[in-house]
Structure 1
Amino acid sequence: MSRITDPERRFQLLVDSVTEYAIYMLDAEGRVASWNTGAARIKGYSADEIIGQSFSRFFSLEDRRSGMPERLMAEARDHGKAVSEGWRIRKDGSRFWSQAALHAIRDEAGELIGFAKVTRDLTEQREAQQALMESERRFRLLVEGVIDYAMYMLDPEGMITNWNRGAERIKGYLAGDVVGRHFSMFHTPEDRRAGLPARSLHTALKEGRFESEGWRLRKDGSRFWASVVIDAIYDEDGRHIGFAKITRDISERKAAQEALAESEQQFRLLVGGVVDYALYMLDPNGIVSNWNAGAEHIKGYTSDEIVGQHFSRFYTETDRAAGVPFRALSTAAETGRYESEGWRVRKDGTLFWASAVIDAIRDESGRLIGFAKITRDITEKRNAQLELRRAHDQLAQAQKMEALGQLTGGVAHDFNNLLMVVSGQAQLLRKKLQDDPRALRALDAIEASARRGEDLTRHLLAFSRRQRLQPTAVSLSDRAGALKELISAGLPSRLSICVDLPPSLWPVKVDPGELELALLNLAVNARDAMPAGGALTLVAENTTLEAGKHEDIQGDFVAISVSDTGVGIPPDILPKIFDPFFTTKDVDKGTGLGLSQVYGFAKQSGGTVTVSSELGHGTTITLYLPRSQAAPAEGGQGEQEEPATAVGAQILVVEDNPEVAEVAAALLEQLGHRCRVVGNTAAALAALHEGEAPDLVFTDVVMAGEMDGLALARRLRDEHPDLPVLLATGYSQTTQGLGDEFPILHKPYKLDELSRAVSATLAQPSRGNLVRFDSARSARRKRDGQRPT
């Protein structure tokens, strides 16, 4: 082989490192001229044994008699290559199933000087995939007579314009039966209803190609699983003239399709010219010695531009300065292989994310003579993975919030009922034990614990955004003094406090009580971050957020920032600070729900919250609250008149929890009212027509049965419009959008709260007229024929 040069020798060594393929050369007469390690492994001959022998010895006797070796050489000589598949013979006489390609090699003058032969042993795959034998037989028939594929054309509207023998055999129709008809006739009724035929043509026209698998119909109505490819066809002027459609019956291959997908993809890449991979060699110093079409496609350099240059030019300046190229070659030389992913640089200076493999190449004596390098552009894959990861993270967060919200709702209702019993019984006992100081101290502890439980539930509801807010327009600058006083009350004198809420601030739409609680929680956290003293600053400014900059909110907001000069938050802790029950404090120093309330309040108010912190330099937490278009209420309006305390009312208590019902009735009786208790809404409706008519219905919201407390209240409003109804709830999502439809008393409630709620409800207007409790009761009893008491 006098024509072979030194770079070609190196390339031969690259080929020799591929052990899964027999790659060798033939001279013009078909005699073996070179032999790689893969050929020796697959066919059993050493290079000394086979070089100079005719390649026909690898064929079976019947193939040699039929002249197959000569035909393949003739085909490769005339057409540039010949592809074949069939049984071949090893040195020991055993057969293996071969997939081979024979390429003609010509010199610069176009004279044939030999052939390149690539053979792969597919025996194991063939034996392990007996289910594919029929499909492979059909494939050979397709090559010989194209009868295993339905191949036909469609016009731009999807009408069939021609029909081949494979289509006739697979689908059962003659050409005269189908030409001129729409190809949707082969789809199942459900696919036609779903618009699949039109969608497949649209995809092929938009993207150039449509591929799918699914059920198709034969003439006799039977179904088969089809592999379908539709390609858009354009004329020389680029005008769309129709579609080429190829259908194959792969019913028997359906079960094995997933196992074959990867190998088929690799085969297509090989046949297509390996343009998706940069394959090239380096000398021991990292100098590029050859260059393939894939490398040119990916990196932008032609062979003339890059051969002789150092491969480090593909790395970023940062990687070169850090010695990444040198370490890659050192690792490959020491271990035989180096794999990595990272940014690489194209000729035009653009970056792409690359998957790179470097294999050390050694000669027969083990001496390092260079490296084989394979690079693939996986930028789109990486972006998709990052996007998928972000989507998974967002979904996980949303699912966590939803799960916590549902859990909180159920727990809040039951927990508040328990607190109602504890708190209510304590209030009842207080009057009986008012002369026993020791008992009163015990009751104080019980009530304090109940209040802590109530606060705990309130914080959980705030975090999960299920707290019932009463937003109104609030002027922060008007409340500056009160907010400073609120914050200062819980802070030690070692801290300096600055509150800057300028008059130019927009009003915000928030629940004032929850706003104060959020700011108080932030102040307490700032206090704990400054054990040795420091400065706490509360400032606010108007800001407009653009879409996409702060999660999913945009528009006008007021940014309220609470800053401290404390110890700061470690970076690994920062993402967790808003999680419920997460705290770095001692067990008895906090619940871990303060910042959770801040987070939930901001989100439920239509805003968001951000945090920035640096160890040793303090923390800033910023609330973004939406601007209110309504003007805030004037500070001088004064408080509403407290309704007169009502006593002696007949109250119907509707509560399905016996312990809570007992406490509610006892508290009402302590207030001077008379009670009748029923355990469900059906009993409540019946009680309206039995005995003394009630002056007020006091009902729980959450109750079992066909009708809950809210439905009962609405029915009473329709049937007894002058009968007041007061709702009680530990938590119910059904009251979220209730507004001012009915008064609501939240469990656990105190005796004075119950008194005010009952008095206010009895004094509320009815159908536009203000009716006082005593006159309404007299009128109702007169109507019902009862004697006033």
Structure 2
Amino acid sequence: MADRVAELENELARVCAERDELARRLKEADRYRTAVNIAQVPMMCVSAIEGRYLFANEAFARIIGWTVDEILSGDAYHIWVTVTHPDDLEVERRAIERLARGEADVARHEKRLIHKNGEVRWYVAHVTALRLPDGRLEAIIVQFTDVHEQREAAEVRERLEAELRQKQKLEALGKLAGGVAHDFNNRLVIIMGYTELLKRSLPEGGTLAQHADMVLTSAQRAAELTHQLLAYSRRQVLMPQAFDLNETVDRMRRLLERLIGEDIQLVTSLAAEHRIFGDPGQIEQVILNLALNARDAMPNGGKLTLETSDVSLDADNSEGLPEGDYVTLVVRDTGTGIPESVLPHIFEPFFTTKATGKGTGLGLATVDGIVHQSGGSIRVESRVGEGTAFTIRLPRARANAPAAEQASPAPLPEPTMRSRNFETVLVCDDDDGVRKLVSDLLVFRGYRVLEASNGRQALELAARHGEAIDLLVTDVVMPEMGGNELARKLKERHPRLRVLYISGYSDDASLLSAPLEPGTFFLPKPFLPADLTRAVCSILEAPNRAQLADRID
């Protein structure tokens, strides 16, 4: 009997020990469950056998906008499809299949979770497999790490890096285009100049005169191409002034209506109350190019709208412009729109979606170059099948702008085209052919001409000459010393000196967008002999410098 009692006591002690151990484990499990439930790391567990959620903590419920009860009582597959972004379903499905096949015990991938309110955020899912003794997948535990801000920052960084690479590529192309256009313009000056002289010596209407006309016409068309290249490269010499953009748009209306055709309605909404500061001719080119682009996008007709308005931008504006006041020009069409894959390339030179022979691919590149060189910005919004809108910001003219900015010059009488006083003209150009052409034309018109091939030689020649020099005719871009520096140094010795720049290209920032100094004028290359002689005569015959336009067209 005593042995039986002892045996029962031992059994009771063992049962009590097991009970205490189970209680301890249960309490520990409760602590773990509580820790999981209150943890800030979203977690959940899904049974691979039963197809339901075994647990989900409050943090996980919060990031998808469901309650824990809704998750635990719902269908696991339905919930997964509902809260996972459609583009991420296949990636996650493949990861889980690898776990089910036993190829891995852990997985990590990025996915987007959709909150019940529609908000989408990026997370990293850390997946761990729980297996049965035979190796089959029993369940998966998933922890989520919020990486939305990091992901957005990375996307912004990648976009900025891509924009920087694109900007550097376009700048390199711009420098190349500007250099090519500069050299090509010099050749065109010679071709056009001597062809015009040759034409004058031929009988009018004869075969040779017609051939000369064809050469001249082709050279002028080539000149248009170089002008586009220079506009894109942002190395044109602009002649900015204050002018009314509304008046410009209104004045161009009849021209635009003829160009776009009767099946396209032209609508203007001109609400801007301030003038802009820019080169009127170049801004007209911007409007014309965008209008032609819109016309081509509406082969079956539509509506073209030109809008102007005033706007003030703060320092944190998204367009990269300095804080200040601007005038907005919007050119909007109801055309075919631009595909998203094409939008990043539309301002690239020679990029076109038109058929071969239908466009050079320089139209929008020219617009972009002119706008940015004018101190503005341009952006485009487009939807395929709905249309495209180009929004341009241009600097507003100062309210206290000097009279030279505000008023157009008085018209000049037609010059005599020959020197009356045998004025002295210093011609400086590093291109021998251009320099000889200019000098020969001026000598023929009765001017005394001094020739120099570079800035330093011009200074030495002027010093040896000893007498007054009435006019400096100089290229802008030259080795050793550019035309702008040469003009400044010569004016120190000859204060009344007038300057005529002959160039279509400049690397000198002071000539690219600022108004020219009094007594300084510009004749763009390439030009005809009559253009040069008319410009020189007009400059030297003007009673005072304020009477003459800064730009000779």
Same fold (TM over 0.5): yes
2:165 aligns to what? 396
2:320 aligns to what? 552
1:531 aligns to what? 299
1:696 aligns to what? 471
Q: 1:748 aligns with which of 519, 526, 540?
A: 526
1:455 aligns to what? 224
1:458-607 maps to which residues of 2 (within 5 A)? 458-501=227-270, 505-545=273-313, 548=316, 550-553=318-321, 555-607=324-376
Name the SS of the counterpart of 1:733 in structure 2: coil
Displacement after TM superposition at 1:588 (Å): 2.0
1:757 aligns to what? 535
CA contact (8 A) 1:702 1:708 kept: yes
1:593-632 maps to which residues of 2 (within 5 A)? 593-630=362-399
Could you say if the C-alpha distance between residues 465 and 697 of structure 1 is closer, same or farther in structure 2, counting changes exceeding 3 Å?
closer
Matched, 1:739 2:533: no
Identify unmatched segments of 5+ residues in structure 1. Answer: 1-105, 114-274, 771-789
Distance in 2 (CA, whole Å) between partners of 1:675 and 1:305 is: 95
Deviations 1:449-474 (A, max 9, x none): 33333332332333343333223222
Matched, 1:423 2:199: no
Name the SS of the counterpart of 1:587 in structure 2: coil
Displacement after TM superposition at 1:389 (Å): 0.9
Structure 1 counterpart of 2:482, which letter? D
Displacement after TM superposition at 1:690 (Å): 4.8
Displacement after TM superposition at 1:380 (Å): 4.0
Name the SS of the counterpart of 2:433 in structure 1: helix
Distance in 2 (CA, whole Å) between partners of 1:480 and 1:709 is: 35
1:25-104 maps to which residues of 2 (within 5 A)? none
CA contact (8 A) 1:289 1:308 kept: no
Identify unmatched segments of 5+ residues in structure 2. Answer: 1-20, 29-38, 548-553
Structure 2 counterpart of 1:762, which letter? L
Matched, 1:659 2:433: yes
Could you say if the C-alpha distance between residues 310 and 373 of structure 1 is closer, same or farther in structure 2, counting changes exceeding 3 Å?
farther
Structure 2 counterpart of 1:663, which letter? L
Displacement after TM superposition at 1:482 (Å): 1.7
Deviations 1:577-632 (A, max 9, x none): 22221111233222111112222223333332233333333333333333334389
2:501 aligns to what? 727
2:47 aligns to what? 283
Could you say if the C-alpha distance between residues 500 and 433 of structure 1 is closer, same or farther in structure 2, counting changes exceeding 3 Å?
farther
Structure 1 counterpart of 2:527, which letter? Y
Could you say if the C-alpha distance between residues 535 and 291 of structure 1 is closer, same or farther in structure 2, counting changes exceeding 3 Å?
closer
Could you say if the C-alpha distance between residues 723 and 386 of structure 1 is closer, same or farther in structure 2, counting changes exceeding 3 Å?
closer
Matched, 1:353 2:122: yes
Could you say if the C-alpha distance between residues 481 and 732 of structure 1 is closer, same or farther in structure 2, counting changes exceeding 3 Å?
closer
TM-score (norm 1): 0.54
1:319 aligns to what? 84
CA contact (8 A) 1:726 1:743 kept: yes
Structure 2 counterpart of 1:583, which letter? T
CA contact (8 A) 2:429 2:452 kept: yes
CA contact (8 A) 2:373 2:513 kept: no
Structure 2 counterpart of 1:701, which letter? V
Displacement after TM superposition at 1:348 (Å): 12
Displacement after TM superposition at 1:700 (Å): 2.1
Deviations 1:679-738 (A, max 9, x none): 233433343325987543322232223x33322222221112244333322412223366
Structure 2 counterpart of 1:418, which letter? R
Q: In percent, how many aligned pairs have the same letter?
A: 36
1:240 aligns to what? none
Matched, 1:333 2:100: yes
Distance in 1 (CA, whole Å) between partners of 2:229 and 2:119 is: 49
Could you say if the C-alpha distance between residues 722 and 562 of structure 1 is closer, same or farther in structure 2, counting changes exceeding 3 Å?
closer
1:403-418 maps to which residues of 2 (within 5 A)? 403-418=172-187
Matched, 1:640 2:408: no
Distance in 2 (CA, whole Å) between partners of 1:323 and 1:600 is: 41
Count of residues paired in the alignment: 500
Distance in 2 (CA, whole Å) between partners of 1:293 and 1:419 is: 77
CA contact (8 A) 1:312 1:320 kept: no
Distance in 1 (CA, whole Å) between partners of 2:120 and 2:223 is: 57
1:87 aligns to what? none
Distance in 1 (CA, whole Å) between partners of 2:120 and 2:342 is: 33
CA contact (8 A) 2:337 2:385 kept: yes
Structure 2 counterpart of 1:354, which letter? Y
Q: 2:209 aligns with which of 416, 437, 440?
A: 440
1:377 aligns to what? 146
Name the SS of the counterpart of 2:357 in structure 1: helix
Displacement after TM superposition at 1:769 (Å): 11
Name the SS of the counterpart of 2:354 in structure 1: coil
Distance in 2 (CA, whole Å) between partners of 1:637 and 1:739 is: 13
CA contact (8 A) 2:246 2:308 kept: no
Could you say if the C-alpha distance between residues 639 and 365 of structure 1 is closer, same or farther in structure 2, counting changes exceeding 3 Å?
same
Deviations 1:486-544 (A, max 9, x none): 32343444444334435x64322232111111111112112222334444333334445
Distance in 2 (CA, whole Å) between partners of 1:475 and 1:723 is: 33
Name the SS of the counterpart of 1:588 in structure 2: coil
Distance in 1 (CA, whole Å) between partners of 2:261 and 2:117 is: 62
Could you say if the C-alpha distance between residues 287 and 570 of structure 1 is closer, same or farther in structure 2, counting changes exceeding 3 Å?
same
Deviations 1:541-600 (A, max 9, x none): 444556655422465443333333433322322232222211112332221111122222
Structure 2 counterpart of 1:566, which letter? G
Could you say if the C-alpha distance between residues 506 and 341 of structure 1 is closer, same or farther in structure 2, counting changes exceeding 3 Å?
same
Distance in 1 (CA, whole Å) between partners of 2:62 and 2:333 is: 55
Could you say if the C-alpha distance between residues 281 and 477 of structure 1 is closer, same or farther in structure 2, counting changes exceeding 3 Å?
closer
1:230 aligns to what? none
Displacement after TM superposition at 1:753 (Å): 2.3
Deviations 1:392-448 (A, max 9, x none): 123223323432333333233222222222222222222122435333333333333
Distance in 2 (CA, whole Å) between partners of 1:322 and 1:686 is: 73
What RMSD over aligned residues (CA atoms) do the two structures have, in Å?
4.4
CA contact (8 A) 1:360 1:371 kept: yes
CA contact (8 A) 1:559 1:625 kept: yes
Q: Which has the higher contact order (CA 8 A, sep 6+)?
A: 2
CA contact (8 A) 2:83 2:113 kept: no
Structure 1 counterpart of 2:415, which letter? A
Deviations 1:140-184 (A, max 9, x none): xxxxxxxxxxxxxxxxxxxxxxxxxxxxxxxxxxxxxxxxxxxxx
Structure 1 counterpart of 2:515, which letter? G
Could you say if the C-alpha distance between residues 681 and 381 of structure 1 is closer, same or farther in structure 2, counting changes exceeding 3 Å?
closer
Larger Rg: 1
Distance in 2 (CA, whole Å) between partners of 1:769 and 1:367 is: 94
